[in-house]
Structure 1
Amino acid sequence: MDYRQHFDFMKHRNKFFAASASLLMIGIIVIALFSMNFGVDFKAGTGLDIGVGQTVTKEKAEEIFASIDLKPAIVSIGGNNDHISARYDAILTEEQIKKINTTMAATFGAQVSQEVNTVSPDIAVELGLKAIYAVAISCVFICIYVSLRFEWRFAVAAIIAILHDALVVIAMFAIFRFEVNLPFLAAVLTTIGYSINDKIVIFDRVRENLRFSKVKTSDDLSNLLNNSIWQTMARNIYTVLTVLLAAGCLFIFGSESIKLFALAKIIGLASGAYSSICIASPLWYLLKNKSLSSKTRANVVKE
């Protein structure tokens, strides 16, 4: 079936590149000016997750902390409005933590529970470096895998698109000042793993179509790539929607501790579906088209 009557992705590739570049540039500017909103996992300090067993407002929680001169940098309410999350940029002493627990118990009763997460400056730096190493190593192995299974052009296009997906998640969290913590890192890594799946599906169809097509010009290559995208479109949409539904349910119905993880997954999944079609495929087209042009010039010289 000829899919040329559908939307021509290759024709509009520069618009896709410009849109992605604009978003990433905004993210870079925000990071340069304001940095990321690092959570206690990547920033030295103490995080408290306090279950009070009854409905509580943010104003009430802030009032309690202020009454004991231990006002945190960030206060949020989670769960069924019965959990208080507090983040301190400084490391609290055992006496201060005990004072908070005693005050909460006096206010809400004996059902109060408290979870403490303290990260020292050295551990914060170590976690940050390990996060960078994890992303870099995963990208290297994906590049090797794609190179062995396909060819280097597919690998280059896939890696650039995967990095695009990771950077989109980072940019969105920077722009909207969402907290960056270990669940966020897990979401970025799973986004990288999932993103390559969409790209492999399209690239596999491209490789298959190349076997039975005579590609001599840029138009031939563009038509082949557009056809391959549309032939795999239904499968990609169904797959993405299924996973997005699961991530959406986690975001809506999940606990406060996994909401940002689910949000990062939603952004990453959407970006992965977009980049597979609008970034990775056009990049491969540009690389392959360059080799076609080289072969054409070589044939002209021989003649």
Structure 2
Amino acid sequence: MRFKKELDFVHLSKFFYIFSIALTVAGLVFLATFGLNYSVDFKAGSNVDVSLSKSITLAQLQPALDEAGIGHDPTITIGDKRVNIRYDEELDDTQSETLKAAITKIDDKASFEVNTVDTEMAKELARNAIYSVLLSSIGIIIYVSIRFEWRFALASIVALLHDAFMVVAIFSIFRLEVDLTFIVAVLTIIGYSINDTIVIFDRIRENLRFGKQKSYEDLKSLVNKSVSQTLMRSLYTAFTVFIAAFFLLIMGGESIKMFSLAMVIGLLFGAYSSIFIASPLWLLLKKRQKTPVKSNPAKA
């Protein structure tokens, strides 16, 4: 499906650039000031996941926590027959057993899973998460450079880093919790982002072969035409994945909530980055090779 009249995507891109730059600046400010709200996966502490045979309320659980007498203020998340208790401090074996015994008095069929992360392990997890994003980006640069050219590679890597950072910025601004599933979501978003970008770039390359571009205006028209030809395919792909991620966010469990939310946010940004970020950026890089259209003195 194509539009009867092609939109000027290159012209519209400046509004998306302004929005992305503003959000990037805001994200950098919040990151520098507050950082990310790391879960226990990335900082020292203990995570106690309790499966119950019945649903309980916070009022029913609190006496058990008081009885355990651990002394730390935990973060408590209560679901359907499930309770998650997170401590910023590491629990030793005695504290863990005391907590289990207190909760067992409420439900003798309760089962426990206690995960403890020490400081060094937390630092290693955070470091490996950064390395995974960087290595995947380098691999994409190499692949696109070989298949296309360096201008396509640079534009595509800016677009996918844009998508990844937009998710990080949103999580930082709204103090949303960052856990291991968030990293998985960011890597998944990078994959979808580069896929849509490659589709458009492949069409641009194909149209370059069959057209004669003598000026910047010719290149601009070619980009608009290429985006128009692939627009519905990109939107259908993004919308299909977005629907799945959206319902995972609404109906999924607490353990994948941040993953689903990050996917929803990333897909929204990825839906426009390939069209309004990557393609116009390639045009700017390619512009230097072309002689701009000269104005007609008679019309001046």
Question: Fold-level match, TM-score > 0.5?
Answer: yes
How far the C-alpha of 1:188 sits from its partner, in A, is 0.8
Instruction: Report the counterpart of residue 300 of structure 1 in structure 2.
Output: none
How far the C-alpha of 1:176 sits from its partner, in A, is 1.6
Q: Is the 8 A contact 2:2 2:228 kept in 1?
A: no
- CA spacing shift, 1:25–1:65, aligned 2, 3 Å: farther
One-letter identity of the residue aligned with 2:38? F
How far the C-alpha of 1:264 sits from its partner, in A, is 1.0
How far the C-alpha of 1:251 sits from its partner, in A, is 1.5
Instruction: Report the counterpart of residue 112 of structure 2 in structure 1.
Output: 114
One-letter identity of the residue aligned with 2:105? A
Q: TM-score, normalised by structure 2?
A: 0.92
- Aligned equivalents of 2:84, 2:153: Cα separation in 1: 43
Instruction: Report the counterpart of residue 228 of structure 2 in structure 1.
Output: 230
How far the C-alpha of 1:56 sits from its partner, in A, is 2.5
- Aligned equivalents of 2:57, 2:204: Cα separation in 1: 55
Task: Give the 3-state SS of the residue equivalent to 1:148 in structure 2.
Answer: helix
Task: Give the 3-state SS of the residue equivalent to 2:83 in structure 1.
Answer: strand
Kindly report which structure 2 residues correspond to 1:153-232, keeping only aligned pairs within 5 A, or say none. Answer: 153-232=151-230
Instruction: Report the counterpart of residue 47 of structure 2 in structure 1.
Output: 47
Task: Give the 3-state SS of the residue equivalent to 1:86 in structure 2.
Answer: strand
One-letter identity of the residue aligned with 1:204? D
Instruction: Report the counterpart of residue 15 of structure 2 in structure 1.
Output: 15
Instruction: Report the counterpart of residue 301 of structure 1 in structure 2.
Output: none
- CA spacing shift, 1:51–1:158, aligned 2, 3 Å: same
Task: Give the 3-state SS of the residue equivalent to 1:46 in structure 2.
Answer: strand
CA RMSD of aligned residues (A): 2.0
- Aligned equivalents of 2:74, 2:29: Cα separation in 1: 24
Q: Is the 8 A contact 2:248 2:260 kept in 1?
A: yes
Instruction: Report the counterpart of residue 78 of structure 2 in structure 1.
Output: 77
One-letter identity of the residue aligned with 2:177? E
Q: Is the 8 A contact 2:37 2:177 kept in 1?
A: yes
One-letter identity of the residue aligned with 2:247? C
Instruction: Report the counterpart of residue 31 of structure 2 in structure 1.
Output: 31
How far the C-alpha of 1:193 sits from its partner, in A, is 1.3
Name the % identity: 46
How far the C-alpha of 1:36 sits from its partner, in A, is 0.6
Moved more, 9-18 or 143-152: 9-18
Q: Is the 8 A contact 2:74 2:86 kept in 1?
A: yes
Instruction: Report the counterpart of residue 96 of structure 2 in structure 1.
Output: 97
How far the C-alpha of 1:131 sits from its partner, in A, is 0.8
Q: Is the 8 A contact 2:27 2:169 kept in 1?
A: yes
One-letter identity of the residue aligned with 1:282? P
- 2:136 counterpart (135, 138, 159): 138
Within the alignment, does 1:148 sit opposite 2:146 as a pair? yes
- Aligned equivalents of 1:165, 1:154: Cα separation in 2: 17
How far the C-alpha of 1:59 sits from its partner, in A, is 4.8
- Aligned equivalents of 1:52, 1:2: Cα separation in 2: 54
Q: TM-score, normalised by structure 1?
A: 0.91
- Aligned equivalents of 2:112, 2:73: Cα separation in 1: 15
Q: Is the 8 A contact 2:67 2:102 kept in 1?
A: no
Q: Is the 8 A contact 2:214 2:291 kept in 1?
A: no
Task: Give the 3-state SS of the residue equivalent to 1:118 in structure 2.
Answer: strand
Structure 1: give runs of 5+ residues left out of the alignment: 298-303
One-letter identity of the residue aligned with 1:139? S
Deviations 1:134-171 (A, max 9, x none): 11100000000000000100000000111111101111
How far the C-alpha of 1:47 sits from its partner, in A, is 0.8
How many residues end up aligned between the 2 structures? 293
- 1:289 counterpart (287, 297, 300): 287
- Aligned equivalents of 2:190, 2:99: Cα separation in 1: 40
Q: Is the 8 A contact 2:61 2:103 kept in 1?
A: no
